[in-house]
Amino acid sequence: MDLRKRPWTGYLRSWLWTIPAASLVTAVLITAAIATSPFAPAGPWQTRLYRLWARAVLALFGVRVRVTGAEKLPPEGHYVIVSNHLSLADTPVMLLAVPVPFRFLAKRELLRVPFIGWYLRRAGHLTVDRRSVRSSIESLNEAARLIREHSLSVLIFAEGRRSPDGTLQPFRDGAAWLAIQSGAPAAPAAILGTDRVLPAKDSCILPGEVEVRFADPVSPAGFTLRDRAAFTRLLEDRVRSLLAGADSPPQSTQAG
């Protein structure tokens, strides 16, 4: 389907049903997460809540998620998960697809958004301050320290924004910085199909199947911050290969 020619019935259904229902589900479950965060700020309870939210939102969207390569991320490890970014639907998709508990690395401006910002703050997700180079470096170093000291996994959309046309955009070096500074392996991931469900800068949500592919994690051993451009290119190439199917494993599982 030409993404510029989406049916008017899709817009009507999205505006009258899907978006209001998904917003209500989001408000209810984030309120529950915030209300219980003083007693369970992280761990299995919060994981169940965000997976419940993801399943509910994707069910409203009519989206099925197929995952390949999840076995490449053993649960005893922690990773900097490096993904492309196509759509607002990527967030619930990755909450279901990633096989280990993780935090998002989000831009700090999101902390001011009602519900979403409140949850990011209370659930301990990591943020980066992009107001200046100095503030970005300081917040990335703090995130790397938390990853290293608490054995956290973190997901970063390495392009820095949603792709406007579905093609892979050049990666920024934040993921490489985090992996090198924390010592955590970088796990390449590729999202396919969410741009057909909900393209960037559009509000028409259409049902469909999406896929998430994982590659073997890449150790940052031997790389320094001076090498982060080379490490960034390596990660970008791995994600590009995943999108092309070159690193797709033979077995697949249904997320959820």
Looking up residue 234, the CATH number of its domain turns out to be 3.40.1130.10
Residue 38 within a domain: no
Q: Give residue 218's pLDDT.
A: 97
Determine the Cα–Cα distance for residues 229 and 26; give it in Å rounded to an integer.
37
Q: Give residue 246's pLDDT.
A: 60
Say if residues 63 and 91 touch (Cβ distance below 8 Å). Answer: no
Q: Give residue 212's pLDDT.
A: 98
Residue 48 within a domain: no
* Range of weakest confidence among 9-18, 58-67, 100-109: 100-109
Domain containing 118: what range? 62-250
Q: How many CA atoms lie within 13 A of 187 on its CB side?
A: 23
pLDDT at 135 over 90: no
* The model scores a pTM over 0.85: yes
pLDDT at 4 over 70: no
DSSP 182-217: H-PPEEEEEEESHHHHS-TT------EEEEEEE---
Q: Give residue 1's pLDDT.
A: 47
User: What contacts 148, CB < 8 A, 6 or more positions away?
Assistant: 181, 182, 183, 184
Q: Give residue 102's pLDDT.
A: 93
Question: In this prediction, what percent of the chain has a pLDDT beyond 90?
Answer: 69
Residue 141 within a domain: yes
Pairing of strands 186-192, 208-214: antiparallel
- CA of 180: how far to CAs of 2, 21, 226, in Å? 40, 41, 10
- Tell me: the pLDDT tens digits for 228-254? 999 999 999 999 999 998 654 333 345
Residue 15 within a domain: no
Q: Give residue 256's pLDDT.
A: 54
Q: Give residue 111's pLDDT.
A: 74
* Range of weakest confidence among 53-67, 74-88, 106-120, 178-192: 106-120
> For the residues 58-67, what does the mean pLDDT come to?
97
8-state DSSP, 91: H
8-state DSSP, 176: H
- Tell me: the pLDDT tens digits for 204-232? 999 999 999 999 999 999 999 999 999 99
Residue 1 within a domain: no
Q: Which two tokens stand for residue 191?
A: 């999202």
Q: Give residue 17's pLDDT.
A: 96
Residue 170 within a domain: yes
Residue 256 within a domain: no
Residue 56 within a domain: no
Could you give the number of structural domains in the chain? 1
Q: Give residue 255's pLDDT.
A: 60
pLDDT at 157 over 80: yes
Q: Give residue 31's pLDDT.
A: 86
